[in-house]
Structure 1
């Protein structure tokens, strides 16, 4: 099969590598791809980003299956357009993608189907939101309704902080329309977990749990980022927590997808908070997380291409997910200045000396055989071990071989 992956980040590198491992796959094209996918076995980058151009390429090349990586293509309706052109594609429809594209829509969906989540209110007028924050107990969480590149969620510990956040979202329009409507939620205390599932709209199956590390600095200090590293499985997702998640969150979400006839054949990401009262749902993403993909996919023993094909044919119930018996640790290496204003163009040394771990590229440029930083999150390394401690030891040993000016990474993943 010829497979097409849409996207250009570390997640797409991980997806492409896993798809290429399948004996069902002869070639993986990645649009637009990156240096990592360009160098990966069986993979080839195609410098296209516009959906119409990508569809034209898929038709000309005779693509058998397309897989969507990032949310932007899903929100633009790539799945709907590919299907209208007779091309098999894996991912939710534009309508179903609202579960990530609108925080307010997602919270209302959760409420309709009894998904366990924090209490909330939705506001479209600054003055009404300002009045509301004068009556609540702190801390609270303020979320921009639309996509905001991972920066649209703020935990506010005081009324002044909440008012400043509302002003920047709703009046100053920090996110170019995405924060004009806001969700104000109660603050939940606990430990976060990521559980990615796959669904064909009738059946839903969870992947191995993971723990993302969003803050820039060790001990969860500093600003939020797109993610500085992941471990899988998440030790806080005990058997009891997992069962509660399946009953109170996962199955109720599937009920909603079915009841509302959402055309959903793809990955669905559940960001949960494990509290003293059990797991609560924080948010949906309608695709694999990044860098969760880089930690979870290397542990997957099942054939990903076969799994996707069964899902698209409505036969996910026939699949059994198989995993390597062990743990993975993924650590992200970032540029100086990330996440506010990353410095680009520094040469990266030592990549060719890395052994026994996976290297996933996010923001790297290749010129005259040399590698240079070309993004905030530059690359990440994933090691697998019989235990998490062995995986951590392996990945941090290999990180010491890589050098570039201003290289930053957390040492406590």
Structure 2
């Protein structure tokens, strides 16, 4: 595969195992069953003692994967989608930034259980070093307020996971809403 991976355990050997043990059998299975599938297949994986183990398959990009994957794509995304639809993807240019991207999801207090909506969100418009994706927000009386459990995704780039996370957390320090919560352990399992 030869992909540039900021994930320490995703060595060339591990990525080759992913391709041989997961990706190719998945594609072979679709073809064997006569399924003309065109689109995303997101394969959630774990590292099981150096071997890939499938946790889940999704036929879509989800949160926060989309917010960390799509910003790294430097190629024309519409052209790539057209290539998928017309089965000419192999003819398209596909370039990805070598930088690492991290995304930290801001959630409403109580998420994923019961949470309240309508909490005013401030400071997001002052963020400069990150991309702020609105997920569960709405505009009410001229103010941006919470309107879901997953409220915003904060995506940042860096030359390492640590640098990208530092930027995301600095950006998060500018944002506030009542009972805002987020994970502070992103990437710790990669060390």
Q: Summarize deviations over 1:223-244 as a string: whole Å, max 9, x none.
A: xxxxxxxxxx433222111000
TM-score, length-scaled by structure 2: 0.91
State the alpha-carbon separation in 1 of the partners of residues 3 and 61 from structure 2. Answer: 11
Match in the other structure for 1:267:
40
Q: Aligned-pair distance for 1:319?
A: 3.1
Structural mapping, 1:71-150, within 5 Å: none
Match in the other structure for 2:59:
286
- Given the superposition, is the C-alpha separation of residues 277 and 396 from structure 1 closer, same or farther in structure 2, using an over 3 Å criterion? closer
State the alpha-carbon separation in 2 of the partners of residues 325 and 353 from structure 1. Answer: 27
TM-score, length-scaled by structure 1: 0.43
State the alpha-carbon separation in 2 of the partners of residues 207 and 263 from structure 1. Answer: 26
State the alpha-carbon separation in 2 of the partners of residues 362 and 408 from structure 1. Answer: 14
Q: Summarize deviations over 1:169-216 as a string: whole Å, max 9, x none.
A: xxxxxxxxxxxxxxxxxxxxxxxxxxxxxxxxxxxx99877xxxxxxx
- Given the superposition, is the C-alpha separation of residues 311 and 207 from structure 1 closer, same or farther in structure 2, using an over 3 Å criterion? farther
Give the secondary-structure state (helix, strand or coil) at the position aligned to 2:27. Answer: helix
State the alpha-carbon separation in 1 of the partners of residues 27 and 153 from structure 2. Answer: 33
Structure 2 stretches lacking a partner, 5+ long? 187-191
Give the secondary-structure state (helix, strand or coil) at the position aligned to 2:125. Answer: helix
Q: Does 1:393 align with 2:175?
A: no
Q: Decide which of 324, 340, 350 is 2:123's aligned counterpart.
A: 350
State the alpha-carbon separation in 2 of the partners of residues 340 and 381 from structure 1. Answer: 22
Give the secondary-structure state (helix, strand or coil) at the position aligned to 1:290. Answer: coil
Q: Decide which of 133, 137, 151 is 1:378's aligned counterpart.
A: 151
Give the secondary-structure state (helix, strand or coil) at the position aligned to 1:242. Answer: helix
- Tell whether the 8 Å contact from 1:294 to 1:330 is kept in structure 2 after alignment: yes
Structure 1 stretches lacking a partner, 5+ long? 1-204, 210-232
State the alpha-carbon separation in 2 of the partners of residues 335 and 206 from structure 1. Answer: 39
Structural mapping, 1:31-50, within 5 Å: none
Q: What number of residue pairs does the alignment pair up?
A: 186
Give the secondary-structure state (helix, strand or coil) at the position aligned to 2:40. Answer: strand
- Tell whether the 8 Å contact from 2:14 to 2:50 is kept in structure 1 after alignment: no
Give the secondary-structure state (helix, strand or coil) at the position aligned to 1:348. Answer: coil
Structural mapping, 1:188-199, within 5 Å: none
Q: Which of structure 1's runs of 4+ aligned residues deviate more than 3 A?
A: 205-209
- Tell whether the 8 Å contact from 2:156 to 2:167 is kept in structure 1 after alignment: yes
- Given the superposition, is the C-alpha separation of residues 400 and 349 from structure 1 closer, same or farther in structure 2, using an over 3 Å criterion? same
Match in the other structure for 1:257:
30
State the alpha-carbon separation in 2 of the partners of residues 333 and 286 from structure 1. Answer: 24
Q: Does 1:403 align with 2:176?
A: yes
Q: Decide which of 82, 101, 108 is 1:335's aligned counterpart.
A: 108
Q: Does 1:304 align with 2:77?
A: yes
Q: Decide which of 241, 249, 262 is 2:14's aligned counterpart.
A: 241
Question: Which of the pair is proportionally richer in strand?
Answer: 1
- Tell whether the 8 Å contact from 2:83 to 2:92 is kept in structure 1 after alignment: yes
Q: Aligned-pair distance for 1:390?
A: 1.4
Q: Aligned-pair distance for 1:320?
A: 4.2
Q: Does 1:276 align with 2:72?
A: no
State the alpha-carbon separation in 2 of the partners of residues 295 and 235 from structure 1. Answer: 17
